[in-house]
Amino acid sequence: MLTIKKPGHSELEEMKVFDWPIWEKEISEFSWHYDSREICYLLEGKVEITVSGGEVFKFGKGDLVIFPKGLSCRWKIISPVRKHYKFE
């Protein structure tokens, strides 16, 4: 299942988050399926994710989010997103 947490700066440095690529997206809605696990750290923005089954997760600036492989969901970007990301 989707995991959301607020890591400290030392944890982010240990994970080398600031070396990961950056993805940006304007206010929008779209469906997405994860073919591999994604870890992302939000630098800006607010998002609501609705997973198949209807459960809603909300996250934003300062959150580290882990999307498991095989997850299908609907993204609703409430304010523009800027995030570091890594696929595993």
Q: What's the pLDDT score for residue 21?
A: 98
Residue 58: CB atoms within 10 A of its CB come to: 12
Q: Dump pLDDT digits (tens) for 12-69.
A: 999 999 999 999 999 999 999 999 999 999 999 999 999 988 999 999 999 999 999 9
Residue 77: CB atoms within 10 A of its CB come to: 17
Q: What's the pLDDT score for residue 38?
A: 98
Domain span holding position 79: 3-87
Strands 56-60, 3-5: pairing is unpaired
Look at the chain and report how many structural domains it folds into.
1
CATH number at residue 43: 2.60.120.10
